[in-house]
Amino acid sequence: MAHISTGQAVVESLIRHGVDTVFGMPGAQTYDLFDAFYEARKKIKVILVRHEQAAAYMAFGYARSTGKVGVFCVVPGPGVLNTMAALCTAHGANQPLLCLTSEVPSDFIGKGRRHLHELPDQLGSLRSLLKWAEQIDQPQDAPAMVNEAFVQMQSGRPGPVSLQIPWDTLGATGEVDLLDPIKIPRISGTRSEIRAAAELISQSKMPMIYVGGGALHAGEEVIRLAEIIGAPVASFRSGRGVVSDDHPLTVMLPVAAELWEEIDLVIGVGSRLEGLYMRWNMMQWQERPREPKVIRIDIDPKEMKYWPPDQAVVGDAKPTVGALAAELEKRGVRYQNQTERISKAKSRVCEAIHSVQPQIALLEVIREILPRDGFITGEMTQVGFTSQVAFPVYEPRTYVTCGHQDTLGYGFPTALGVKVANPDKIVISITGDGGFQFAIQELATAKQFNINLITIVFNNSGYGNVRRDQETRFGGRVIGADLVNPDFLALARAYGVQGYRAQDADGLREVLRVAVVKDEPAVIEVILETGSEVSPWPFILRDAFTGNTVV
């Protein structure tokens, strides 16, 4: 029992959960919380940002690259609203993020008197967007509320949550009992579900495994299953790296498209099967075709209603896939060897996708220099889109994406969080000139906190993706797509960050090598001629293989 404030009780509880970093920006309502962070400064590092969106994106990058909870702390009202794009991205990508914030003083809540930073219904707004949100009303409640927040973030389908503590409550003191964290068990699918799934697999001649973000911790089990049944393991973006791309059974999305016609069973693991059914067919697939058959292994039972499989197995990927592999081994399943078919499809796609220039050449240079355990963070840019279907990934979590929200501007601040979480690894952010300018001021954060991130900016003087669509689908009626940009290198230098420029892939190789050795925050600008990039979309939406045109 200790006599402490609510703020101190929250911070002590975070420490018990292993939190070592908090991203954020203080304000009057959160002073007591920041004062508690000050007291705990030997155990928790506070990283100050220049705009709250970056605090949330950095926490997102921290979570995505480690599997741990990402924590940020912002003022209520405008502070919280500034983090919403990142929170909806975290929600879409099932990431455990804790948004710590405050509220108007308790006596003012719900009165509508327009107190400083007051929202009509902040808790209601947060609940409508997040997995869970609660208010702490007294110091004694803080440890149990923090425990519940961690359970909510990490159990079932993970997701972002918020704890708000009213201005006056944060400083209020009381006798507090600190608590140990609650262990979250990994629950397997039932025996009967696993037997039924094994039965379907035994009847299949050409199965394909398809993994998503829910399988990132289950790589070993997925490989075991793949090797028992000789099936290719496909993924779009969140599942990249579950199985290394240099395993002969791993295939990227366009290779899966090549194999698709003969596949008679899809085994989805921790995935909404977005690549197959929500990207292909121009994102127009309303109902699941009867063939191929589908088994879905997912921790979220609701998924089974959204996209009904022939066999549902509700459980955590790790024990469930492990149990399924054991069941198949016991049965001695025989399979048709697909290895040659897979390697032929890989070579065909490799040749075809080589036409997506200059993106492929640029990505090859990045892959050549980035160590196997180095991280790359994507963006909604031509090189970023191409990377989703062409950049080899060797380890889980090293390919950091925003998932289905396709949130322009997430990349650079997210990558800063990845680097904070992985200071000893090389981290590269790839971004367009458009996306970079969503959070360019965080170069100051990189400088101040020695976040040695390498940011490669592909400068085509515009929203290249928009421009291409307007050129090809609206007869050249280009509107809202061209950008007059600042001098990115001068800007980087003004922030005290190293700046480099490259004109092509060879130039990028030269400066990227230098930047990696120097190990300091760096911006590399790659100049691209406007409209010069070949569209990667046929390889994502599958029309390269079906002859359809992009709608």
Ligand X SMILES: Cc1ncc(C[n+]2csc(CCOP(=O)(O)OP(=O)(O)O)c2C)c(N)n1
- List residues binding Mg ion (CB under 5 A): 432-434, 460, 464
The torsion defined by the Cα of 361, 364, 365 and 370, in degrees rounded to 10, comes to 160
State the sign of the Cα–Cα–Cα–Cα dihedral 408, 412, 418, 424: positive
Reduced to 3 states (helix: H, G, I; strand: E, B; else coil), residue 97 is: strand
**What is the rounded distance in angstroms from the CA atom of residue 243 to the CA atom of residue 226?**
10
Rg (CA), the chain: 24
CA within 13 Å, CB half, 360: 15
If contact means CB under 5 to 8 A according to the sort of partner, which of Mg ion, ligand X, none does residue 466 touch?
ligand X
Q: 64 or 467, CB closer to ligand X?
A: 467
Q: In whole angstroms, how close is the CB of 549 to ligand X at the nearest point? A: 19
If contact means CB under 5 to 8 A according to the sort of partner, which of Mg ion, ligand X, none does residue 465 touch?
ligand X
Q: Is 115 left (phi over 0), alpha (psi -120 to 50) or beta?
A: beta
Q: 445 or 465, CB closer to ligand X?
A: 465
If you search the block for the tokens 């402490």, which residue do you land on? 4
Q: 35 or 406, CB closer to ligand X?
A: 406
If contact means CB under 5 to 8 A according to the sort of partner, which of ligand X, Mg ion, none does residue 377 touch?
none
Residue closest to Mg ion (Cβ): 432
Q: 399 or 458, CB closer to ligand X?
A: 458
Q: 70 or 432, CB closer to Mg ion?
A: 432
Q: In whole angstroms, how close is the CB of 15 to ligand X at the nearest point? A: 35
If contact means CB under 5 to 8 A according to the sort of partner, which of ligand X, Mg ion, none does residue 7 touch?
none
If contact means CB under 5 to 8 A according to the sort of partner, which of Mg ion, ligand X, none does residue 349 touch?
none
Q: In whole angstroms, how close is the CB of 285 to Mg ion at the nearest point? A: 30
> Which residues of the shown chain bind ligand X in the complex (CB under 6 A)?
380-382, 406-409, 432-435, 458, 460, 462-466
**What is the rounded distance in angstroms from the CA atom of residue 403 to the CA atom of residue 400?**
9
Q: 155 or 465, CB closer to ligand X?
A: 465
* Inter-residue contact 100 to 36 (CB < 8 Å): no
State the sign of the Cα–Cα–Cα–Cα dihedral 80, 83, 88, 94: negative
The helix, strand and coil proportions of the chain, stated in percent and rounded to the nearest 5, come to 45, 15, 40
Q: In whole angstroms, how close is the CB of 435 to Mg ion at the nearest point? A: 8
Q: 476 or 547, CB closer to ligand X?
A: 476
Q: In whole angstroms, how close is the CB of 467 to ligand X at the nearest point? A: 7
Q: In whole angstroms, how close is the CB of 341 to Mg ion at the nearest point? A: 38
Residue closest to ligand X (Cβ): 432
Name residue 176's beta-bridge partners: 2
* Inter-residue contact 37 to 61 (CB < 8 Å): no
Q: Is 461 left (phi over 0), alpha (psi -120 to 50) or beta?
A: left
Q: In whole angstroms, how close is the CB of 528 to ligand X at the nearest point? A: 8
